[in-house]
């Protein structure tokens, strides 16, 4: 049997939650003080999700980078693969804040600009 530790981020209490796992199946969860914690811990074990923020190259020498973000969290495993895809991109201004930079980078998630870039 394995133990998997999670720090819950739902509220400032930051409970230390322990999942007991046997043959890939969660058989016990302890340490949480509310239901949200239990849910969070399970999600973290099964498929942790993260928002990805990064930059994308531009052709504008004075503003060589455009900051971007995924519209929703993506699987933690996909963070580095997404970074490699974004590394290939090069954007021409103008760009509007919220504009889609890469549609469906992975698993249906878009990457959007978080600032304007004028010509």
Q: What is the binding site for another protein (CB under 8 A)?
A: 7, 9, 12-14, 48, 50-55, 57, 62, 64-65, 67-69, 76, 79-80, 83-84, 86-88, 97, 114-116
What the block records as the tokens of 93 is: 């201004």
Contact status, residue 118 vs residue 93, Cβ threshold 8 Å: yes
Q: Which is nearer to another protein, 10 or 26 (CB)?
A: 10
**Smallest distance from another protein to CB 86, Å:** 8
CB atoms within 10 A of CB 27: 10
What is the C-alpha to C-alpha distance for residues 42 and 44, in angstroms, rounded to an integer?
A: 5
**Smallest distance from another protein to CB 97, Å:** 6
């Amino acid at each position: 049997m394995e133990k998997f530790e999670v720090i819950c981020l739902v509220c400032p209490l930051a409970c230390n939650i322990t999942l007991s796992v046997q043959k890939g199946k969660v058989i016990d969860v302890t340490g949480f003080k509310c239901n949200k914690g239990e849910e969070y811990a399970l999600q973290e074990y099964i498929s942790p999700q993260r928002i990805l923020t990064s930059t994308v190259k531009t052709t504008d020498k004075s503003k060589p980078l455009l900051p971007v973000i995924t519209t929703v969290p993506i699987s933690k495993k996909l963070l580095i693969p997404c970074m490699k895809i974004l590394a290939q991109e090069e954007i021409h201004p103008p760009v509007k804040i919220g504009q889609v930079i890469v549609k469906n980078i992975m698993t249906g998630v878009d990457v959007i600009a978080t600032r304007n870039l004028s010509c």
